[in-house]
Amino acid sequence: MFGLIDKGTVRRKYGLDGRLLWVDIVLSDWVFNAIKAKEMLMLNRDYFRLGKPYERRAYEIVRKHCGRNKEWKIGPKLLRKKMGATSHLKKFRFFIRAAS
């Protein structure tokens, strides 16, 4: 198993109900090394405004494959597979059209 964070500590004033003072985190070695090597993809702030999980997953896949290119093409069958969707292809196409 692996995670993004190896360990963390939360410091609060006056115990568990007190005001948050700071948070210490230790990143996993692979995350830290990827950041140093500039191998991380940035997300647009609007990503967090996407309301549905399949919209976010579609964005993540397209962001990964597009990189800085202006265009990337994929068929609905392969996109459905990459997204891990279990719905029928017809319903999946409906969801994708509704999201655009």
Domain boundaries, the chain: 5-36, 45-99
- Sequence-ordered alpha helix ranges (H) in 39-75: 53-66
Mean pLDDT of the chain: 87
15 pLDDT above the threshold of 80:
no
Q: Report which residue type is found at 50.
A: L
Structure tokens at 7: 């360990």
Rounded to whole angstroms, the Cα distance separating 7 from 71 reads: 39
Q: What is the pLDDT of residue 12?
A: 85
Q: What is the pLDDT of residue 41?
A: 80
pLDDT in tens, 76-85: 999 999 999 9
- Sequence-ordered alpha helix ranges (H) in 1-100: 29-36, 53-66, 76-83, 89-99
pLDDT in tens, 31-40: 999 999 988 8
pLDDT in tens, 55-94: 898 888 888 888 777 888 889 999 999 999 999 999 999 9
Q: What is the pLDDT of residue 40?
A: 81
Phi, psi of 92 (to 5 degrees): -60, -45
Q: What is the pLDDT of residue 70?
A: 80
Structure tokens at 65: 């494959």
